[in-house]
Amino acid sequence: MRIKDNFWLGLLVGAASFALCFLLLWLIPWGEAYHRAPYLLAFIPGIVLFRMAMVKWNLERVGKGILLVTFVGMLLVFFLV
């Protein structure tokens, strides 16, 4: 089955990968010095998915959606947390 190249699908995949990884990392007891670690480490799957969508699967719009979620999320973490 061929995946449709859709920007909204990229936004959904990027947000879902962040949420799933963040929930898993939230269960680890981090020290007070590393309170940003779960937020920042949760963006790694988005970066990996972005590269796979753009290079391996040739889904440009999906990659752009994943990149937008990752970039905006990182900015929010740095300015709000």
Q: What is the rounded average pLDDT of the residues 15-27?
A: 93
Structure confidence at residue 30 (pLDDT): 81
pLDDT tier at 1 (50, 70, 90 boundaries)? low
- Distance between CA atoms of 6 and 64, rounded to whole angstroms? 9
Q: What is the rounded average pLDDT of the residues 29-58?
A: 89
CA proximity to 14, closest of 45, 39, 40? 45
Please check the confidence at residue 81 and state whether its pLDDT lies above 80: no
Structure confidence at residue 33 (pLDDT): 79
Global pTM value: 0.87
Structure confidence at residue 40 (pLDDT): 87
Percentage of residues in the chain having pLDDT higher than 70: 99
